[in-house]
Homo-oligomer: A and B are copies of this chain.
Amino acid sequence: MTERPLRRDAERNRQRLLEAARELMARDGLGVPYEAIARAAGSGMGTLYRRFPQRQDLVDALFAEHVEAVAALARQALRADDPWTGLTWFMERQFELEADDRGLSELLRGARQGTDRLAQGCARIAELAAQLIERAVRAGRLPSHVVPGDLETVHLMVGAVMDASRQHDPARWRRALAVSLAGLRHAEPTRPREEEEADTHPRKAPVPPASPNGEHAHHVPAP
């Protein structure tokens, strides 16, 4: 199992490839073409493939420490005196990192599957985030119906705003985060499952009054 070290020139090329990938993925996301990375590094595609046969290998090498940094943020947030402050602080810091790095943003949002370092890192973050939620709930700073899954939802929501506005208005995600977090504190509990019976009931009358003009409800084309 001795991993003999790379030849000197090979190691240098590897570093160049990593740097190029780092920059491009931060700007354009994880899906940046291999060819673009190789060109930016001044190498051929063959070299890139030799070092990182799977894109996952490249992503792994690049983002391991970033993911670890986010986990560290979460751990620090868990030490905050006030659980709610800790939670909001964590979310803000996390999104600040994501705002500067589209690759990281995609990584943290996409559901990880592999057994690699990254997947474990993300799992650890999820666990810590769950603790942040639970701690805030226990302290009475969040309603008890808020669950860890709601944080993932918030992550999706704010991330979408970030994606849509990265060019146009890079700070817009802060508003989305403020709305989402306020929403967590004030949302009504989700209605318990009555969906099944709902269909047997007469469909809930449209909340707005049955049209002042006396027309009937507008026809909505069936999907």
Which residues of B are found within 8 Å of A153, using beta-carbon distances?
161, 172, 175-176, 179
Task: Note all chain B residues with C-beta closer than 8 A to A114.
Answer: none
Q: Is the CB of A86 within 8 A of B160?
A: no
Nearest residue, chain B, Cβ from A131: B222
Taking the closest CB of chain B, its distance from the CB of A184, in whole angstroms, is 6
- Cβ of A186 < 8 Å from any Cβ of B? yes
A83 near B157 with CB under 8 A, answer no
Stretch of A41-49, A66-74, A121-129 on the interface side: A66-74
Q: Which residue of B is nearest A92, CB measured? A: B207
B69 near A219 (CB under 8 angstroms)?
yes
Which residue, A73, A86, A186, A214, has most C-beta atoms of chain B within 10 A? Answer: A186
CA of A182 to CA of B26 in the docked complex: distance in angstroms? 33
Tell me whether A202 is interfacial, beta carbon within 8 Å. no
Across-interface contacts of A222 in B (CB, < 8 A): 83, 135, 138-139
A87 CB to nearest B CB, Å: 10
Report which of B65, B73, B185, B207 forms a contact with A186, defined as CB distance below 8 A.
B185
**Bound Cα distance from A79 to B211, whole angstroms:** 7
A139 — which chain B residues lie within 8 A by C-beta? Answer: 222
| Contact status A212-B76, CB under 8 Å | yes
Residue A3 at the chain B interface, CB threshold 8 Å: no
**Which residue of chain B lies nearest to A172 when distances are taken between CB atoms in the complex?**
B153
A217 in contact (CB, < 8 A): yes
Q: With A65-B221, A206-B76 given, is the CB distance from A156 to B150 under 8 Å?
A: no
10 further interface pairs, Cβ-Cβ under 8 Å (given A69-B218, A79-B212): A79-B208, A79-B209, A81-B208, A83-B222, A138-B222, A156-B164, A157-B157, A157-B158, A182-B185, A182-B186
Nearest first, the 4 closest Cβ-Cβ pairs linking A and B are: A183-B183, A160-B160, A80-B208, A157-B157
Ordered by A's residue number, 20 sampled pairs between the chains whose C-beta atoms are within 8 Å are A65-B221, A69-B219, A76-B211, A76-B217, A79-B219, A80-B209, A85-B208, A97-B223, A135-B222, A139-B222, A156-B160, A157-B158, A157-B161, A157-B176, A178-B183, A178-B188, A180-B180, A182-B182, A182-B188, A183-B184
